[in-house]
Structure 1
Amino acid sequence: MADPYDILGVGRDATEQEIKSAYRKLAKQLHPDRNKDNPKAAEKFSDITKAYDMLSDKTQRGRYDRGEIDLEGNPTNPFGGMGGGGGFGGGRRGGPGAGYSEGFRGAGGEEVDLGDLFEGLFGGGRAGPMGGGGPRSGMGGGFGRSAPPPRKGADIAYRLRVPFVDAARLIEQRITLQDGKTIDLKLPAGVESGTQMRLRGKGEAGPGGSGDALVTIEIDRHPHFERDGDRVRLDLPITLSEALRGGKVRVPTVDGPVMLTIKPGTSGGTTMRLAGKGFSRKGGGRGDQLVTIQIVLPDDIAPLEKALEGWTDGANPRADLGA
């Protein structure tokens, strides 16, 4: 199993800022939009995203460092708790995964209720006088006890990683179940990390019918977009000349690039709104995309210094701060 520190190229004592910087650098290099002819880049992009998700979460990072979980978030000792567990479905091409079902299993995989077993052997009732079985009569079935209804099969847990843009646009995701069958899963409006979907009858088979598949959604991070409720936030770098003179610039959105008009004299930190370019809402419609302007100076500032020679800006932009 790959190590998240090695994937991001940082040491185990790396700070949160060092981890974030390493992720952003790699994300820019490996983003699928920049490597459409290189399928391996998409795999590496997924790996660095998983590694960043792990190390940017203090709780998960601590559990990983202690050896309690692996990169996927699975317990390194899955049988330690004898409880339910999680399998994994892929993204659009998800791989098979199966969870550990609750209960005790026999060699054939069937769920065994130890209480029913002992009651069947010893009658299931309190002893009467002289050690008899009490007033119940009859042979078999626990001395007159009616047989319990047949049990359904166990539920199976899956975790499905969904790309950020797919989640915003509610693009169907393909998941492969334990039996090898694939289904296209429709994401619900307002989907977020932790959303759980129940697929009836897609669990393990049992005498009383099949159990269910429980799919927990995990939305991947994006190198540029950030989710804020039903809104999407983006820091948009523009040049000093674009800020001074204004004009139209291309802005990425989850639906594809759009043109945004920059007014002359726009200051850094100005936030602009693109209506309906966010996440879907449970009640209908979509949120907005908020674009915050970031003015970027040129690498070579000598021509700028020469052009501004002898000029000083007399304004005090910190006046409201009392500075």
Structure 2
Amino acid sequence: MKNLYSILGVSKSASQQDIKSAYRKLAKKHHPDANPGDTKVEEKFKEISAAYHILGDEKQRARYDRGEIDEHGQEKMGGFQQGYRRSASGGFGGGGGGGAEDIFSEIFGNFRGGGFRGRVPEKGRDRKFAIEIDFAEAALGGKRRLTMGDGGRTLDVSIPAGVTDGQQIRLKGQGEDGIAGGPSGDILINVTVRPHNFFRRDGKNILVELPISLPEAVLGATVKVPTVDGTVNLKVPAGSNTGTTLRLKGKGVGKADRGDQLVKLKVVLPEKQDSELQDLVAKWSEKHDYDARSKLKAN
């Protein structure tokens, strides 16, 4: 008989949870009721069952690791044998075991009643996770690695471009195993998008308010604007006012069919009062008076 660890496909340093998880998968795949008439599969099932009855029991596993018992669970020294016996299922009874029949009941339903026979296939349970992503990752998509918690198994998850706060990502067939040949459950991932300091979202468009100086507004300028792709240059036309909105095409949400970024200008005066600027504006206004609130007057 081969080394018990290699039969279950785990390393000697594997945790008890790793061993249990490996056994669950192999037992479901090689159960005779799932492979009727296949004698090779039946022998494989007996082999993995025997391996788990030793490795699944911490005390028996320790004795096996120390070389006190062999792959059949029999004493190597001292002449006393544990007396493991084969059961009708192809497993082993006596000697403590590793709870294999309990796992069969969990995987296949009523194990003693005939495994899959007479059982109604049931979908496995869904597994739920929650992740938090930043604004740019939600807009452009990305990859995240989930640790499943069943023996350290990891799963790479694609974050779709344009995912919204509170949206749920479903990974079909990645949840708990089905019962009696039923389909596996799904993985459900609840997404939280962290708010951004200055970006806002409107459908596939991204909104940002861009402060500009008085000279930039009056004379026009080329200024730098942040986007989810990085900083780009934007031409501000001369005579721009607070509320003027400029469009950066293809800098919004999505991948192949992206939205735009809408840049709303906000003219900002110097924080510190400047007498020279005040004198200049006063002299200018003497000849260029205008009504800034004309649109608020009733018709």
TM-score, L = length of structure 1: 0.51
Runs of 5+ in structure 1 lacking a partner? Answer: 1-106, 118-139
> 2:142 and 2:262 mapped to 1: Cα distance?
22
The DSSP-based 3-state class of the residue aligned with 2:283 is: coil
Which whole-Å CA distance do the structure 1 matches of 2:158 and 2:128 have between them?
17
The letter for the 2-side match of 1:156 is R
1:183 alignment counterpart: 155
CA deviations on 1:151-182 (whole Å, 9 max, x unpaired) are 34311111221211011111222322232333
| 1:218 aligned onto 2:189 | no
Is the 8 Å Cα contact of residues 162 and 173 (structure 1) preserved in structure 2?
no
Counterpart residue identity of residue 246, structure 1: G
Amino acid at match of 1:213: I
For the aligned residue pairs, the C-alpha RMSD in angstroms reads 2.9
Query: What CA distance in whole angstroms lies between the structure 1 residues aligned with 2:144 and 2:280?
Result: 54
Residue 150 of structure 1 deviates from its aligned partner by 4.3
Letter in 1 for 2:281: L
Matches of 1:292 and 1:305, distance apart in 2: 26
Whether contact under 8 Å (2:162, 2:204) holds in the other structure is yes
Query: Helix, strand or coil for the counterpart of 1:308?
Result: helix
1:322 is aligned with what amino acid? K
- Tell whether the 8 Å contact from 1:154 to 1:211 is kept in structure 2 after alignment: yes
Partner of 1:236: 210
Match of 1:306 among 260, 271, 279: 279
Q: 3-state SS of the aligned residue for 2:138?
A: helix
Native 8 Å contact 2:140 2:162 kept in 1 = no
For 1:297, the equivalent position in structure 2 comes to: 269
Deviation at 1:246, TM superposition (A): 0.9
Give secondary structure in 1 for the equivalent of 2:227: coil
Q: Does 1:170 align with 2:144?
A: no
Alignment of 1:1-323 (within 5 A): 147-179=118-150, 180-207=152-179, 208=181, 210-280=184-254, 284-303=256-275, 304-312=277-285, 314-322=289-297
Residue identity opposite 1:319 in structure 2: S
Deviation for aligned residue 1:203? 1.9
Give me the whole-angstrom Cα distance separating, in 1, the residues matched to 2:194 and 2:225.
Answer: 21
Maintained 8 Å contact 2:251/2:258? yes
**Shift of residue 206 of structure 1?**
4.8
Q: Which amino acid aligns with 1:172?
A: K
Higher mean alpha-carbon deviation, 239-248 vs 184-193, is at 184-193
Identity score, percent:
42
CA contact (8 A) 1:160 1:175 kept: no
Unaligned runs of 5+ in 2: 1-101
Q: Which residue of 2 aligns with 1:102?
A: none
Q: CA–CA distance in 2 between the matches of 1:175 and 1:306?
A: 63
Distance 2:154 2:213 in 1: 48
AA of the residue aligned to 1:305: Q
Q: Is 1:224–1:234's contact at 8 Å kept on the other side of the alignment?
A: yes
Whole-angstrom distance in 1 between the partners of 2:140 and 2:121 = 42
DSSP 3-state at the match of 1:264: coil
- Output the CA distance in 1 between the equivalents of 2:224 and 2:118: 70
The structure having more radius of gyration, on CA atoms, is 2
The letter of the residue matching 1:155 is: D
1-side partners of 2:123 and 2:257: how far apart? 39
